[in-house]
A and B are shown apart, each in its own frame.
Chain A
Amino acid sequence: MKETLIIAGFGGQGVLSMGKILAYSGVMQDYEVTWMPSYGPEMRGGTANVTVILSDQKISSPIAHEFDTAIILNQQSMEKFEPLVKPGGVLIYDTNGITRHPVRTDISVYAIDATAECARMGQARLFNTMILGGYLKVCPVVAMENVMVGLKKSLPERAWKSLPQNEEAIRHGGEIIRKIR
């Protein structure tokens, strides 16, 4: 098993945290894990992305030129990363603010309206766990009980009171993701 994933969007969407939850979940499942963020000025309102690799073997390069899965959360990231999904790979995107939808036909494409759903619920902070839930529905790379431990481990103790809401968001994300092709 080897999953090379890019999560890309705006700073503030919880891109890096989502990667961290997944990385911790991978550790719980005894996988080798790398979490390689974009960092620095990109985190302050501009684009942010993180490459997460989960593997049952030693991971050679933490840097990838193509990805099994891309989770794309803004238009700039769509331009940059849609071409880098491996043929046969998976592209998941939040439709909010997307002006040019994915065009490739050699990959599986899924859409999730998490921004809209979170706005409807008045819970913008659940955005990234909802997206994560959508991803895990499509690509169940880690068992859900490990995700719940990963979620707890990646949050500071003061945020543990929000764990039940986030667990529910992960479950709901799995319900609202839909296959485009």
Chain B
Amino acid sequence: MAEKEVKLMKGNEVIAYAAIRYGCDGYFGYPITPQSEVMETLMELKPWETTGMVVLQAESEISSINMVYGGASTGKRVMTSSSSPGISLMAEGLSYLAGAELPCLIINCQRGGPGLGTIQPSQGDYFQAVKGGGHGDYHLIVFAPNSVQEMHDHVAEAFDLAFKYRNPAMILADGAIGQMMEKVVLAPQRPRRTDAEIAAECGSWAALGKPADRKRNIVTSLELQSEKMEVINKRLQDKYKTLEENEVRYEALECDDAEYVIVAFGSSARICSATVEMARAEGLKVGLLRPITLYPFPTRQIADLAARGVKGFLSAELNAGQMVEDVRLAVNGLAPVEHYGRQGGMLFTPDEVLTALKEKLIKK
């Protein structure tokens, strides 16, 4: 079973393969374009007949996320997937998962909003993913894949980080990455964890059935005594600080000598990598800083570029300007930071980004 396989696959399809091969225990979901292939592929692959992974179509997104809460409470590796409006329905559950410190994986294959919006690709859920979405002081660990291969790889990486930090993790993809087909190398099949392995890893907190020799484990996000709740809040914040110090992932393309830097994530970063090629061909020193984790955000890496004397930053996003706020905070006034975006499900092309870069920054 340890062979590497090269396949041609959609981003959404590969999520299903990656989850099974990672040894995921359960998927709970509800269909919505443009991510329905995740559950469709799982249903075709029938992992319950091979690894024993549960795949269940719930009656709604609200049920899905609460089934995830239940599964995660027992130390199982469980996940759900949806697209923007469906993720909004899950917002309460996300906050509860973060509050109860439950590791799990949520996929958001974004479409244009607000409301029902459109079914075409968008990055309009950046704020929702990295700033909360649900209520209270919490963060999700957020990955932003820019290829079908990364859709595959991030499943394992996000699950690993989620369990390392006991925190829900999200893969923030979009309709373009989800619907696109590319070559992908699939990981070898890993066995699902045994009950003994789960007890060893999660026994200190998960609801596994109480043995005589320890106190009950209680999974909850409720604490009515303010003094105690503040202690919990501080512990969560300490965890987020550790995440920010240790788990930032990013890619710097042609940034070493760059005078101007495009900051972009996911599908738009992929488009902007061609913008960098075009700019370099014209003799313009342009680089690309691609956050791979949106939370924790590569604040220090962007600050370092600003301190080194980069003349301007362009945050290129498929939205009205969301990540640009975090880029501005990182640059902290050392250089101009502009935004370029398309909305409503429209994608920009590499040359449109180059034109925007010239008009907004280089010509000034």
Contacts and interface: CB of A to CB of B under 8 A. Distances in A.
Interface stretch (A33-41, A90-98, A126-134, A170-178): A33-41
B349 A64 contact: yes
- Give the size category of B's interface with A: 20 to 34
A20 B6 CA distance: 16
B8 A63 contact: no
Interface in A50-65: 60-65
Contacts, number: 68
A135 interface: no
B92 interface: no
Contacts of B274: 60-61
A39 B34 contact: yes
Contact of B351 (A23, A36, A39, A65): A65
Interface in B148-194: 175-176, 179-183
Interface of A: 20, 23-24, 27, 32-37, 39-41, 60-65, 153
Nearest to B118: A40
A35 B182 contact: yes
A58 to B, nearest CB: 9
Closest 8 CB pairs of A and B: A61-B274, A65-B349, A35-B181, A60-B274, A60-B273, A40-B119, A61-B271, A36-B180
Given A60-B277, A61-B270, A61-B274, A33 B347 contact: no
A35 B119 CA distance: 18
A61 B183 contact: no
Interface in B306-364: 347-352
Contact of B183 (A27, A41, A60): A27
Contact of A63 (B34, B271, B277): B271
B349 A63 contact: yes
B273 A27 contact: no
Nearest to A33: B183
B120 interface: yes
22 contacts: A24-B8, A32-B182, A33-B183, A34-B180, A34-B182, A35-B180, A36-B179, A39-B34, A39-B175, A40-B33, A40-B34, A40-B119, A40-B120, A60-B270, A61-B272, A61-B349, A62-B182, A62-B267, A63-B348, A63-B349, A65-B351, A153-B8
A38 B271 CA distance: 16
Contacts of A41: 119
Interface string B86-113: 0000000000000000000000000000
Contact of B350 (A23, A24, A40, A63): A63
Contacts of A61: 270-275, 349-350
A23 B181 contact: yes
Interface string B269-283: 011111101000000
Contact of B176 (A24, A27, A62, A64): A62
A23 B267 CA distance: 20
Contact of B181 (A20, A40, A63, A64): A20
A37 B270 CA distance: 16
Contacts of B182: 32-35, 62
Contacts of B270: 60-63
